Amino acid sequence: MSNPIYLALDVPRLRDGVALAEKVKAHVGGIKLGLEFFCAHGAHGVHMIGQLGLPIFLDLKLYDIPNTVAGAMHAIHSLEPAIITIHASGGRAMMEDAKAAAGEHTKVVGVTMLTSMDDRDLQRTGVQGSAHDHVMRLAELAHESGLDGIVCSGHEVKAVHSQWKDGYFVVPGLRPAGSAVGDQKRVVTPRQARDDGASVLVIGRPISRADDPAEAARAIEATL
């Protein structure tokens, strides 16, 4: 991949999303469409963004019984996403069925732990051990289940990459040096994540909320 940056595009108005994607498309490698975008604009919105010619990362974080997740995968074949997310904590059967039902050219990656969570948040859900240990366990399970890769923070990607050499690693929660962290807790810079083995760098607010989104995307691209 020549440019690993995927712009996280979550906007209430579709025309604003199209306009933003048009501005930055020369400086990103793809567009990430999450729950907010999908709930607001549905399949029509995905098709509209797809017309820009960039790969689409459909970040729906599917999590349900295996049969339901497999059915959802079949339902989105027509959207032809390059990447789609499921929750690795859904278990091996769910991950296996999701991968089997995915489109031929769609990478299925398992979300390990949200970057808005830290060790204390994890313990409150009943999971013992550190965030790092939890991510490593789920990464191993995702690998055994036949997924293409995982979603993890920049804090874990180096360790995961060392154990899963050919994995596909999506890293969100990235902030360029000097940027506000916001609601993210486990963040690194895009360059650090890339150096540590990230395949895809998901970047939202540092680009979308910049005074000049194209210049912001260009500046981040230059650091890579």
Q: For 127-136, which contacts have Cβ atoms below 8 Å and span 24 or more sequence positions? A: 131/155, 131/156, 131/186, 132/156, 132/159, 135/160, 136/160, 136/163
A 10 A CB-CB count for 195 gives 14
Q: Does 61 qualify as catalytic in the annotation?
A: yes
- Vertex 84 angle, CA 83 and 90, to 5°: 140
Strands 56-62 and 30-33: parallel
SS3 call for 165: coil
Report DSSP state, residue 125.
T
**Distance, CA of 202 to CA of 198 (rounded, Å):** 10
What tokens does 9 get? 């595009």
Region for 53 from its dihedrals, namely left if φ exceeds 0, alpha if ψ lies in -120 to 50, beta otherwise: left
For residue 53, report the phi and psi dihedrals to the nearest 5 degrees: 90, 5
Q: Please pick, among 23, 25, 61, 158, the residue that the annotation labels catalytic.
A: 61
Catalytic machinery residues: 61
